[in-house]
Structure 1
Amino acid sequence: MTLRRVVVTGIGALTPIGNTASEYWDGLKNGVSGAAPITRFDAEKFRTKFACEVKNFNAEDHFDRKEARKMDPFTQYALVVADEAIKDSKLDLEAIDLDKAGVIWGSGIGGLKTFQEEVRSYALNDNTPRFNPFFIPKMIADISAGYISIKYNFRGPNFVTVSACASALVALIDAMNYIRLGHMDVAISGGSEAAVTEAGMGGFNSMKALSERNDSPETASRPFDKDRDGFVLGEGAGALILEEYEHAKARGAKIYAEIIGGGMSADAHHITAPHPDGLGATNVMRNALNDANIKPEEVDYINVHGTSTPLGDKSETTAIKNIFGEHAYKLNISSTKSMTGHLLGAAGAIEAVGCVLAMNHGLVPPTINHFTDDEELDNKLNLTFNKAQEREINVALSNTFGFGGHNTSIIFKKI
């Protein structure tokens, strides 16, 4: 069968370096760090006292107080970016078939703040069960997609993917395939996360996954640097409006890019550590290239998973060389997590938005905070250190990898 083409016609972003897609792009191109001391709670007793928080966000600027109290921050973030993306797409909701408009969202954790608050309240009240009636609807990860569909009356496929840090890209790939196969004409897809809480920070600290560079938070996320010591926890959301190409063209939509392929794989190795030879990462990029029906030499830019962990960064660069061979040295490669921190299940969404904007502006965002080459990595690779680089980007690939060995890659093409 002939698969339908899928394009991006709207974007939205709420990130630690900008509260709209345009502000986010300004932060990316200028190499701005979103890391700073935590303001959400007193982190004095935590080993890591900083994170990449969303800044200057007031829920009551977007929702009335009663409505806001019914939603965990990860759902609030989802609704805000979905609204930006819908407005950006200029979709006429009265002119489209709402039965073929869906919402496929991603979140690795969901309502962690809500869960923490309710359990704490239970424990502090002599274990008397006085739970908020909105506890469960606020906490469950799928509620974000539910709220979005209710707001826009989208009656097509509606669900949330949970694949740890790969969640949002799984959602985008699923949305792409539902449109390809004719089950939807339009989708709101992306991801949101709000895990900068005591439980989130404490849990990742106990795993020794986070950077502990408390003396210099803004330089703590340093992918591929010899002295990297873990990732920086981030929060926020990203949304993309995906649309069948002819549907978009018929209404005269602005088209940012085409999604031409996606891949998934499993490391089948370890619950948190990547395969040391980059096997899963190698397979997922190969799967995405095969799905897109393009050669490795056609890719110009890779937005890597690049979390700033010792094992992860090494494994991913190994995988890139496995797939791209000599062409690996002609690529631009960068990790925007050096600026935004790691948004967990929402990472793939904001990084997809970043790829689309990089293509449209002909500018590769940098990997900031590079100070010292790591002799265990191939330093001939162009990792776009510290400063954005101008380049025509016709094809961009984005990777996200999650705990459990979940790997995803997606490929965008200029149209």
Structure 2
Amino acid sequence: MRGEEGPAGGQKGVRVVVTGIGVKSPAGNTAGEVLSTVLAGKSTATAIPGLAGGPVPIGCPLAPFEPLDYFTGRELRTLDRTAQIGLAAAIDAVADAGEPSPEDCGVYVGTGGGGFATLENLIVGHALGREKVPVHAVPALMSSSTAARIAIRYGYRGPCLTFNTACASGATAIGEALRAIRSGTVGSAVAGGLDALLSPLVMEAFAKVGALSERLDAPAEASRPFDEKRDGFVMGEGAAFLVLERSDLAEARGARVYGEVSGYAANCDANHIVAPLRDGSVAADCMRAALADAGLSPEDVGHVNAHGTSTPHNDDAEALALRDLFGGASGGRTPPVTSTKGVSGHLVGGAGAFEAVVGLLSAREGLVPPTANFTSGPATEMIDLVHGAPRRIPAGPVLSNSFGFGGSNACLILTPA
């Protein structure tokens, strides 16, 4: 069932469709590669030479990627690695969509760390007297740099906005782009998220708060969402972007449609700067609001792409939230649930956008990816966790969850074409 107008204030009858996808990730650098990798359920985590000697020298690095396929050597010298990855993913998404009209297009980008790795390199280099501060330091450090460069490249003159809601940033950017199109602010948008935080200082900082897995002898087994032996997440790097358009505009130009972003909601636990609310109640409220925004009920959800970080408290809270949401639906069982962070690691600001891509592609194929490295755990008493092999399901809407530090929650509903 579909409502004509959601509580987010959308115009009556406005539908927002996905016409382009671009991704740069540990699981692959095209939509096809990503879907194949997550369906295989094999972790991409490995030892990272640049992190050797640090407390957690493992992570999920980007799949092989040639920046010179996208940028000149001169351009590369002015781009933070985060911006390289994000801009390349956005370029792919726009090419896939066939370039919507620049006069009516906005840019919405989510990032948790922005140019933090560049800042680290500048500080260390300056302190050791190894280099002067380069002239491009400020634009490389700006967290808004990627959004600005996307707009400049294509001449997009709509809003050019950057969001930081920690690990929910990518989902927030997509959701806010959805609202902008519904409200008539723009007719189309390039929206997504990115981060590249595999640097020594960042990794040590996350290790200090106890967020990272210490399963250093077996990196490929370290990210294990919802498993009883999980001990923290594995840091990954990557970016994903969608081109969103008002459905009538996409139809008028004959664009290929992957599906629809049909619902979005955001709220805050207002509880703790790094820990989720233990009972998951506010996260459950966010999921309900996203479903209401889409005009759907819990029974309509085909599967869930969980935030599922592989941290003890987060996974427990999310399992409780899902049980709360679906407790009265389908005889008390949740729909199939997966977490792709077992494969890709945690892409931080890029996670919500990457998982929105995975969720939509999975829904189109009618295949739910398995949760990598899950063997057993009490979560299966609360949620129908897919593990071991992909599960075939009827095509239907996917609920994609993103929950960030500070209690920032963002949920998206994506419906395949």
Q: TM-score, normalization: structure 1?
A: 0.95
Match of 2:288 in 1: 286
Residue 112 of structure 1 and its aligned partner are, at CA, apart by: 1.5
Match of 1:29 in 2: 39
Residue 359 of structure 1 and its aligned partner are, at CA, apart by: 1.5
- Tell me: CA distance 1:338–1:120, structure 2 relative to 1, closer, same or farther (3 Å): same
Match of 2:12 in 1: 2
CA distance in 1, matches of 2:401, 2:334: 18
Alignment check: 8 A CA contact 1:3 1:180 kept = no
One-letter amino acid of the structure 2 residue matched with residue 374 of structure 1: G
Residue 135 of structure 1 and its aligned partner are, at CA, apart by: 1.2
Q: What secondary structure sits across from 2:166 in the alignment? A: coil
Residue 400 of structure 1 and its aligned partner are, at CA, apart by: 0.4
1:374 corresponds to 2:384? no
Match of 1:50 in 2: 58
Map residues 5-20 of structure 1 onto 2, 5 A cutoff.
5-20=15-30
CA distance in 2, matches of 1:380, 1:308: 16
| Matching residue within 236, 249, 252 for 2:251 | 249
Alignment check: 8 A CA contact 2:322 2:383 kept = no
1:301-334 Cα distance to aligned partner (Å, 9 max, x none)? 1100000000000000100111111436250100
1:102 corresponds to 2:112? no
Match of 1:312 in 2: 314
Match of 1:82 in 2: 90
CA distance in 1, matches of 2:17, 2:63: 31
Q: What secondary structure sits across from 1:87 in the alignment? A: helix
1:172 corresponds to 2:180? no
- Tell me: CA distance 1:3–1:146, structure 2 relative to 1, closer, same or farther (3 Å): farther
Q: What is the number of residues matched between the two proteins?
A: 405
Alignment check: 8 A CA contact 2:320 2:382 kept = no
Residue 60 of structure 1 and its aligned partner are, at CA, apart by: 2.4
Match of 2:3 in 1: none
Residue 382 of structure 1 and its aligned partner are, at CA, apart by: 1.6
| Matching residue within 219, 228, 231 for 1:229 | 231
Match of 1:276 in 2: 278
Alignment check: 8 A CA contact 1:196 1:233 kept = yes
| Matching residue within 405, 408, 413 for 2:407 | 405
Q: What secondary structure sits across from 1:88 in the alignment? A: helix
Residue 3 of structure 1 and its aligned partner are, at CA, apart by: 5.2
1:329 corresponds to 2:333? yes
Residue 45 of structure 1 and its aligned partner are, at CA, apart by: 2.1
1:63-115 Cα distance to aligned partner (Å, 9 max, x none)? 11111010001111111111111111123x5xx2x221111111111012210
Residue 187 of structure 1 and its aligned partner are, at CA, apart by: 0.6
Q: What secondary structure sits across from 1:242 in the alignment? A: strand
| Matching residue within 140, 143, 146 for 1:141 | 143
Q: What secondary structure sits across from 1:321 in the alignment? A: helix
CA distance in 1, matches of 2:69, 2:21: 20
CA distance in 2, matches of 1:283, 1:221: 27
1:157-179 Cα distance to aligned partner (Å, 9 max, x none)? 11111110000111001100110
Residue 285 of structure 1 and its aligned partner are, at CA, apart by: 0.5
Map residues 320-399 of structure 1 onto 2, 5 A cutoff.
320-327=322-329, 329-371=333-375, 373-375=376-378, 377-379=379-381, 381-399=383-401
Kindly, what percent of the aligned residue pairs are identical?
39
1:100-157 Cα distance to aligned partner (Å, 9 max, x none)? 111111111101221011111221129x9x4222112101111100000111111111
Alignment check: 8 A CA contact 1:102 1:157 kept = yes
Alignment check: 8 A CA contact 1:52 1:235 kept = yes
CA distance in 2, matches of 1:314, 1:19: 31
1:386-405 Cα distance to aligned partner (Å, 9 max, x none)? 21111113111100010000
Q: What secondary structure sits across from 1:259 in the alignment? A: strand
Alignment check: 8 A CA contact 1:401 1:407 kept = yes
Residue 36 of structure 1 and its aligned partner are, at CA, apart by: 0.5
CA distance in 2, matches of 1:115, 1:324: 44
Residue 48 of structure 1 and its aligned partner are, at CA, apart by: 1.4
Q: What secondary structure sits across from 1:407 in the alignment? A: strand
More deviation, 332-341/11-20: 11-20
Q: What secondary structure sits across from 2:133 in the alignment? A: coil
1:208 corresponds to 2:210? yes
One-letter amino acid of the structure 1 residue matched with residue 416 of structure 2: K
Alignment check: 8 A CA contact 1:301 1:393 kept = no
Q: Which structure 1 segments of 5+ residues have no match? A: none
CA distance in 2, matches of 1:215, 1:326: 43
CA distance in 1, matches of 2:236, 2:328: 34
CA distance in 2, matches of 1:20, 1:288: 28
Residue 378 of structure 1 and its aligned partner are, at CA, apart by: 4.2
Alignment check: 8 A CA contact 1:14 1:24 kept = no
Q: Which structure 2 segments of 5+ residues have no match? A: 1-10
CA distance in 2, matches of 1:260, 1:312: 26
Match of 1:68 in 2: 76
Alignment check: 8 A CA contact 1:17 1:32 kept = no
CA distance in 2, matches of 1:344, 1:164: 7
Alignment check: 8 A CA contact 2:322 2:334 kept = no
